[in-house]
Amino acid sequence: MIRLVVLLTLLAGPACAACRQALVLGLDISGSVDDTEYRQQLDGLAGALAAPAVRAALLAMPGASVDVAVFEWSGPLNQRILLPWQPLDDDIVILRAAATLADETVQNFVPWRISLRHWEAVFEHDCELTFDCVPFAH
């Protein structure tokens, strides 16, 4: 298994050698999301990042980080980056990212309609990119 990971890292080329996954998380803050649901989104993400099992998984491959960026949106003119791109490559960085999310406060944005292509361009990254932007489920 280790040989496979090393081989895949080498095949990925120098641009991706330091990152095994680039993860963009978009949080729905449209008019249908109330303050309680907003807190659930942020606190859930912050809690997940702070969880020992998640931190261990993120740090399982030293030298091959998971990079993350988090934004909130409710429309083409109503977006805000909460966490710019950062490698989650040590415990302090992960806990700081979790604390940043936990400390955020709601923005009063209007209902949404947005092109994911816009965000794909904003969050361009050299590594394999996972883009998750799912509206809050009621």
pLDDT mean by block of 10 residues, the chain; 138 residues: 33 54 87 85 95 96 93 80 93 96 72 51 64 51
Tokens 């659930």: give the residue: 40
Cα angle, residue 103 at apex, residues 94 and 123 outer, rounded to 5°: 60
The whole-number pLDDT of residue 80 equals: 86
| Per-residue confidence (pLDDT) for residue 58, from 0 to 100 | 95
The backbone region for 65, taken as left when phi is positive above 0, alpha when psi lies in -120 to 50, beta otherwise, is beta
Note the pLDDT of residue 138. Answer: 44
> What local confidence, expressed as pLDDT, does residue 9 receive?
35
pLDDT at res. 61: 94
pLDDT at 128: 66
Instruction: Tell me if the pTM is above 0.85.
Output: no
Q: Where are the domains of the chain?
A: 2-132
Q: How far is the C-alpha of 106 from the C-alpha of 58, rounded, in Å?
A: 28
CATH 3.40.50 for domain 2-132: yes
| Per-residue pLDDT at 83 | 93
Pairing, β 65-75 against β 78-88: antiparallel
